[in-house]
Structure 1
Amino acid sequence: MSSAHEANIAARGKSFSLKAILNNAGIGLALLLVIAFFSVTTEHFLSSNNITNILTQITINLILAVGMTFVILIGGIDLSVGSVMAFAAVVAGKAITLPGLGVTELILLACLAGVLAGLVCGILNGVLSAYWSLPSFIITLGMLNIARGAALQISGAQTIYSFPFVFEEFGSKLIYGVPVVFLLALLLVLIAWFVLNRTVFGRLIYGIGNNEEAVRLAGHPVFWYKVAAFTICGLTAGIAAIVYMARLSIASPIAGIGFELNAIAAVIIGGTSLSGGRGSVIGTLLGAFIIGVLANGLILIGLSDFMRQMITGVVIIIAVILDHYRARLSAS
């Protein structure tokens, strides 16, 4: 790779960082306004217990959204993460209930099995969509059904439970009122931020979303970068499965229905463009917070499930419209 091309990539990475800061400032302001609104209209919104509840509730969506950010940045989409999470949870649930092993061995085996199950699904999504240049929407829609069917088949359509106490305790453990599972999600956000903003791999993920052909002509293996993005998404689905099991003490084959839509919503509300090439995992974090705070606050003011769904849908549409105008301003 030429020094001029390296300088171009570095400059583009700095440009993305500046745009990300400006976009996230607006998203952060929106989050503060939502928090202020519910603080005034509800009595217990800012109580320590409710804040802990919000952090716990957004954890799984945040983990899934971190992986989804990589896929959307390359101009793709992954509709299978909810089903992959259920599949990984069932695989991990089967592993953690095996007889004849100690508690530590069972927990390690379950975590490894669940993460590997997610990885395999992510690799398949990436290879199938990148090798044949097929729309990721179609490939991951197929994987949605494959993973869900596999989860039902492996579990016999039965919920798996009776996990070791230490494993269940991890899902409810707090450190100064902050759930440990949320800290895990936050760690994933920081790792993703570093990868996207401080590595050549991350800059090329942005580059593929902006101009895939230019990245290919520069001599970079676009195929493997695409596979890597989907693999990361599968990895986070596997991690989300472990967190889900620890939180609820079950592994259900019907878990995760609709979770892919919440993850996509967090990414889009966070300012990542559906067309790829623009966005930030910090924006995804803020987007997940907006969805979580909105859902929690609407419950506290007594709105029905139907009204909550409608309002969340309106927020998503507004985010997409704003993304459209951001794209036009960037192009001008």
Structure 2
Amino acid sequence: MSQTATPLHAPDAAPAPRSALKGQLGTYLGLAAVLIGMIALFGSLSDYFLTRETFVTIANEIPALAVMAVGMTFVLIIAGIDLSVGSVLALSAAATAAAILQWQWSVPAAAALGLATGLLCGAVTGAVSVAWRLPSFIVSLGMLEAVRGGAYLVTDSRTQYVGDAISGLAAPWIGGISVAFLLAVVLVIIGQAVLTRTVFGRQVVGIGTNEEAMRLAGIDPRPIRIIVFALTGLLAGLAGLMQSARLEAADPNAGVGIELQVIAAVVIGGTSLMGGRGSVITTFFGVLIIAVLEAGLAQIGASEPSKRIITGAVIVVAVIIDTLRQRRADRRGH
């Protein structure tokens, strides 16, 4: 079992039952074992995988994925989904680049615009889904296209080169590790604390577990849902800044298909697609597994079709495992 928040009405964080703690530890150890096993496998297949350069490269490439996965964890816990995060990443980066290059804004103001763009996109997705009681899958699918179109309009369908204006986020700091990676780790820790140690986190889990019970308890789930999607958009905006800093450019095609990687990382980490259960820490394990898998396949010379087939198979296996785990939990509940 992944770590979840304490019961909804508990005024303070209650001690987790011993069985729950064992389940959490088992999840962590299981994911760590998978990660170590993959590292050992690729290390045996490639002479260059087990090197400092490889791991530094992986660390500096995953911040955008990790940050978006934090938001997606909360979305899946409320039994929603957001397919627009890749497009929001592109539009936020495009807005930042346009502010710097075309409008001559200062870098902090331009970065704030990029973050606000992501926040607005997420809030619109959540508000439309809640107001018309539409599946978030459909709403975010529409947003995926609309926001991508916005990115093309802002950039005139061309890559905007911002140079080193915001490159500080991707600059090597400690042992070659970028500031963006350290920021992503901090956000993972904050996300886990919010999920497990705050009233908001308990409400998020409550919505995913039994939304009707939340209403009967006098808690309106609608604003909570909107906040979750808005925060996810904000984190996608931050991911756009991170990617632009690494590439020193804003590409309107950036983030195409990354929403699938984000969802895969969250599901591999044990967050339930059915809602009500998840952990940001285990999501980070999922991000690392996805990153190591891609880096390892690239180093052993796997073709692009092969990499997609293998990654897709890993996602399907993770979903099957989640479904079986949910069925066992339901049987125990009965």
User: Normalization by structure 1: what TM-score?
Assistant: 0.92
Structure 1 alignment gaps of length 5 or more: none
What corresponds to 2:4 in structure 1? none
Deviation of 1:192 (Å): 0.3
Q: How many residues align?
A: 324
1:57 corresponds, among 39, 54, 61, to: 61
Deviations 1:14-64 (A, max 9, x none): 687664443232222111111111122211212111110111122211111
Q: Secondary structure at the match of 1:6?
A: coil
What corresponds to 1:217 in structure 2? 216
What corresponds to 2:128 in structure 1? 128
> Matches of 1:24 and 1:8 in 2, distance apart?
27
Q: Secondary structure at the match of 2:283?
A: helix
1:1-332 aligned within 5 A:
6-7=9-10, 19-98=23-102, 106-163=106-163, 165=164, 167-331=166-330, 332=332
Amino acid at match of 2:68: L
Structure 2 alignment gaps of length 5 or more: 1-6
Deviation of 1:8 (Å): 9.2
Q: Secondary structure at the match of 1:7?
A: coil
Measured at CA, do residues 17 and 150 of structure 1 come closer, stay the same or move farther in structure 2, by a change above 3 Å? farther
Point out 4+ residue stretches in structure 1 off by more than 6 angstroms: 12-17
> Matches of 1:100 and 1:275 in 2, distance apart?
46
Q: Which has the larger displacement, 73-82 or 301-310? A: 301-310
User: Normalization by structure 2: what TM-score?
Assistant: 0.92
Measured at CA, do residues 13 and 232 of structure 1 come closer, stay the same or move farther in structure 2, by a change above 3 Å? farther
Deviation of 1:5 (Å): 6.4
> Matches of 2:15 and 2:123 in 1, distance apart?
28
> Matches of 2:104 and 2:280 in 1, distance apart?
42
Amino acid at match of 1:86: A
Aligned residues with identical type, % of pairs: 44
Q: Which has the larger displacement, 91-100 or 35-44? A: 91-100
Deviation of 1:329 (Å): 2.0
Deviations 1:177-201 (A, max 9, x none): 3222111111110110110011010
Deviations 1:151-182 (A, max 9, x none): 1112111111133x352243132312322211
Deviation of 1:227 (Å): 0.5
Q: Secondary structure at the match of 1:272?
A: coil
Deviations 1:281-318 (A, max 9, x none): 11110000000000001111111111111111111011
Q: Secondary structure at the match of 2:55?
A: helix
Residue 92 of structure 2 contacts residue 117 of structure 2 at CA under 8 Å; is this kept in 1?
A: yes
Deviation of 1:255 (Å): 0.9
Deviation of 1:95 (Å): 1.0
Q: What is the RMSD computed on CA atoms of the aligned residues?
A: 2.0
Amino acid at match of 2:129: S
Measured at CA, do residues 16 and 202 of structure 1 come closer, stay the same or move farther in structure 2, by a change above 3 Å? farther
Measured at CA, do residues 18 and 229 of structure 1 come closer, stay the same or move farther in structure 2, by a change above 3 Å? farther
Deviation of 1:6 (Å): 2.1
Deviation of 1:12 (Å): 9.6
> Matches of 1:88 and 1:318 in 2, distance apart?
33
> Matches of 2:162 and 2:27 in 1, distance apart?
45
Residue 16 of structure 1 contacts residue 278 of structure 1 at CA under 8 Å; is this kept in 2?
A: no
> Matches of 2:15 and 2:206 in 1, distance apart?
9
> Matches of 1:153 and 1:98 in 2, distance apart?
14
Q: Secondary structure at the match of 1:174?
A: strand
> Matches of 2:258 and 2:107 in 1, distance apart?
25
Residue 86 of structure 2 contacts residue 255 of structure 2 at CA under 8 Å; is this kept in 1?
A: yes
Q: Secondary structure at the match of 2:256?
A: coil
> Matches of 1:162 and 1:28 in 2, distance apart?
38
Amino acid at match of 1:155: T
Deviations 1:119-143 (A, max 9, x none): 0000001111112211000000010
